[in-house]
Amino acid sequence: MTNPQHQGNNLPMTSNIEKDSGNQNVMNSQDPAGKPAQAESQPGLGAETAQTSPPEEVISVTKGLAPPGDRAETPPAEVPESAESLAAVLAKYKLELPAEQIALLDHYRRLVWEWNQRINLTRHTDFEKFVTRDVLDSLALAELLEQEELVLDVGTGAGVPGVILAIVRPDLRVVLCDSVTKKARAVHQIVSELGLRIPVAAARVQDLLGPATQFNTLVGRAIGGIREVLKWLRPHWKYFDRLLLIKGRSWVRERGEARHYGMMHNLALRKLKEYHNPANGAYNVILQICPEERIVSGKKCRLRELRSHRPKLPEPPVPPPAVSSSPS
């Protein structure tokens, strides 16, 4: 896979078209947009490919020290030293990127792994997983985004796919959000130290979207089942054009459940891309969901002109003040 930076409007299309609609149902706004919702009838919903294949990629471009006081309840193991390099593993899987982008990605993954010893951000703490899951997913998604799109990464976690998108597609305007404040704080510190101008919001997507905060495309990976995500977004479609989800084999079951509960009413679902993890053969797809009225031909969703729109975001999360050891 080559660098998609200059591909612009050339969206790779597959021959399989999936379109769904169902009866309208009342949506109850619930779960935080940054975390998967617990399915009412299927407790395992939203587990993504982790049930049938290795965990989905989690990537972030970061640099910096973890904020004081943040500790995972079960701290991850120390990151082992490795003789491998990011450039070598990218070359192994024939993923071509400019040298400056590789250097920035390498800086990012190092910072994420450092943060991961303090906050549980990712399970992808070796080069193989970082490349074949995080980088590969993000490159596949980057090929489907048009020039200068305004993109919101929902439930960004460690910054995947949003930070990687910003690195390999500098033309994009990327915003990150996560409902878990300590994760949003970590990613904010990471992108700041990398010198990337990426706003980070510590908020649920359903609380963020509004007249002053609009986007062309929402992207997400491992944020919940299709039904749950559509329940969060149902009242807010006028504030964004389409949703792109990275999914594993569970997408067929999730689509059926979303349709059964009326979540696909007046929405069109298209499978834009399918690909396999070159390391383990795991199957992935990228799904597009958008209002039926926005489908102009086949799989193409009509996007609004938002180049002049500047989303109004809450103040960025900041590290907590240092705890004083002197008596007050």
Q: Residue 5: what pLDDT?
A: 55
Total of domains in the chain: 1
Token readout for 99 is 């040298």
Q: Which amino acid would we find at residue 17? A: I
Q: What's the CATH number where 190 sits?
A: 3.40.50.150
CA distances from residue 177 to 87, 155, 214 in whole angstroms, order as listed: 29, 6, 13
Q: Is residue 12 part of a domain?
A: no
**Minimal CA–CA distance to 222: which of 19, 12, 39, 33?**
33
Flag whether 89 is in a domain.
no
Range of the domain at 242: 48-56+141-297
Nearest to 287, CA basis, from 136, 141, 150, 176: 141
Domain assignment present for residue 321? The answer is no
Domain annotation covers residue 68: no
> Does residue 254 lie in a domain region?
yes
Q: Tell whether 227 is covered by a domain.
A: yes
Please check whether residue 26 lies inside any domain of the structure.
no
106-130, pLDDT tens digit by residue? Answer: 999 999 999 999 999 999 999 999 9
pTM above 0.95, yes or no: no
Residue ranges in the chain whose pLDDT is less than 50: 6-77, 79-81, 320-328
The pLDDT of residue 259: 98
β-bridge pairing 283-291 and 150-154: unpaired
Is residue 206 one of the residues assigned to a domain? yes
Residue 133 CB coordination number (10 Å): 27
